[in-house]
Amino acid sequence: MKYKFLFLAAFILGVSSLAFATTVWSAKKSAKEINSLLEDEKKELKILKKKISRQEKLISSVGKKEGKLLGKLKKINNQIKLKERELKVYQWNFLINKKKLAKLEKNRNENKKELKTQKILLGKRLRQIYKEGSVSPLKVAFSSENVSDLLQRLKYMELIAEHDANLMVDYKIRLDGLNAEKESLLAVRAKLVRLEKDALGKQGEFEKARKDKKSFLKKVKKKKQLGIRTRKELLKASENLNDLIGKLLTKLVSGTGLDISDKKGRLSLPVKGKILNKFGRQKDKQFASFIVHNGINIKVRTGVSVRSIFDGKVLYTGELEGYGNLVIIGHGKDYHSLYGHLDRINVKQNQVVQTGDIVGLSGDTGSLIGETLYFEMRKNGKPVEPVRWFKTARRK
């Protein structure tokens, strides 16, 4: 009764084709690359969760110092970075799932074509069987010339029946696979909708955090009392930096390195941009007071590569109030260079760097004036005029 599969085939042929529109967007990454991206994303999510936990503790700690303006700025900056990172996680997740969707749709369309071809072949076979009518073993026996002919015909019938059965079983398997692919596609599409919605929410939170910072800086700039308080806090931050430099001096004295002193006027700026302030004691017209600039602020958008001005050794990487993400590099036994307000730090403590190596990306962490790179040059721990060290430097 191997022809019992004919009933199954007749049922299958009655099933309507499953329509599914293909996406215009095509995935350029291979499956291996996509899987690698997914694994990287899982790691990023894990890092993000730890960062959120640390952030909550940091916010709790900063909250106890409500009167500290730089502390509040640090809190706002951390919130901005947190929301920005969360947004990037959603965006990456969206992109990865979009690639996955494109791959699934491509496979599904290929399988639909193969299934259509198989359906046509199976239909032809069924029509042929219908025209020929059912062939019973008894009919074959009476039409056979001899026993050898009978056995050969029966064997032939068995092979045909087996082939027909395999055709129908394979068709059923492919159809089930196609239905499973449809479910996968629907699941991925639903996930994309959720990710897009969540990403829009995170985008709103990110924009709100940026507006909070803008509002805070505007208030500090306009109100004289807040401006004076900020100046005092910046002075304290400068003293903290001096203390840090003092501790690093021992590393300079005991270390070895190339002499940078003969490079004055021949170095390149760590980033290209306009210098926003002069070095030294300058009058603040807004508050009719004086402020000491130990370094210069170079106007630069966030995300630009910040490069080491000369060969040296990384003596410090971290976050310092008033300076944001900070890198300090020792050049020989006398000189330091400092890079502040970084969005990201790309080097590690004790790492040896060469002229032009990327130490980080520009940003606005700890900055009261927006996107800028803060740069200092120090000799034996004391600030020196940095502009004279560079070949070209544009002022505002």
Cβ partners under 8 Å of residue 34, min gap 6: 27, 96, 99, 100, 103
* pLDDT of amino acid 288: 54
211-229: pLDDT as tens digits: 777 777 776 666 555 555 5
Q: Is-contact 73 368, C-beta < 8 A? A: yes
In a domain, 245, yes or no: no
| Ordered mean pLDDT values, 10 residues apiece, the chain (396 residues) | 38 31 40 59 59 57 53 72 72 72 75 73 67 56 55 57 63 69 71 71 74 72 59 68 75 60 89 88 62 87 94 88 89 89 91 93 86 92 90 60
Q: What is the pLDDT of residue 284?
A: 63
Q: Do 74 and 185 sit in the same domain of this protein?
A: yes
273 and 152 within one domain:
no
Q: Does residue 8 sit in the same domain as residue 139? A: yes
Q: Do 325 and 370 have their domain in common? A: yes
Q: Does the residue 281 lie in any domain? A: yes
366 in a structural domain: yes
152 contacts 141 by C-beta, under 8 angstroms = no
Residue 80 resides in a domain: yes
**Does residue 346 share a domain with residue 281?**
yes
Residues 21 and 127 in one domain: yes
In a domain, 228, yes or no: no
Are 390 and 268 contacting, i.e. CB atoms less than 8 angstroms apart?
yes
Which of 122, 114, 132, 112 has the alpha carbon at shortest distance from 13? Answer: 122
Torsion of CA 81, 87, 92, 95, to 10 degrees: -150
Please state whether the predicted TM-score (pTM) of the whole model is above 0.95. no
The number of domains in the chain is: 2
Q: Do 73 and 211 share a domain, yes or no?
A: yes
Question: Which phi and psi (to 5°) does residue 242 adopt?
Answer: -60, -40
**Is 100 found in the same domain as 159?**
yes
Q: What is the pLDDT of residue 200?
A: 72
Q: What is the pLDDT of residue 223?
A: 59
pLDDT value at position 342? 94
| 207 and 316 housed in the same domain | no
Q: To the nearest 5 percent, what fractions of the chain are helix, strand and coil?
A: 60, 20, 25
Among residues 220, 246, 280, which one ends one of the domains?
A: 220
Q: Which of 199, 220, 241 is the last residue of a domain?
A: 220
Could you tell me where the beta strands, DSSP code E, fall in the chain?
274-275, 280-284, 289-293, 296-299, 305-307, 312-320, 324-331, 335-345, 352-353, 358-362, 372-379, 382-384, 394-395
4 secondary structure, DSSP code: G
Separation of alpha carbons 264 and 80, rounded Å: 38
Spatial separation of the C-alpha atoms in residues 388 and 386, rounded to whole Å: 6
Among 175, 202, 220, residue at a domain's last position: 220
CATH number at 307 reads: 2.70.70.10
Note whether residue 241 is domain-resident. Answer: no
Please indicate, yes or no, whether residues 275 and 355 belong to a single structural domain of this protein: yes
d(CA 264, CA 386): 9
Residue 124: give the domain boundaries. 2-220
Looking at the fold, whether 180 and 50 belong to one and the same domain comes out as yes
Does residue 154 share a domain with residue 102?
yes
Nearest to 354 by CA among 307, 315, 305: 307
Please indicate, yes or no, if residue 231 is contained in any of the structural domains.
no
Q: Is residue 242 part of a domain?
A: no
Cβ neighbours for 309, distance < 8 A, ≥ 6 positions apart: 267, 268, 269, 270, 337, 355, 389
What pLDDT, on a 0 to 100 scale, did the predictor assign at position 4?
Answer: 38
- Name the burial class of residue 293, with classes exposed (0-12), middle (13-18) and buried (19+) by CB atoms within 10 angstroms of its CB: middle
Structure tokens at 119: 């359906």
Q: How far apart are CA 90 and CA 86, in angstroms?
A: 6
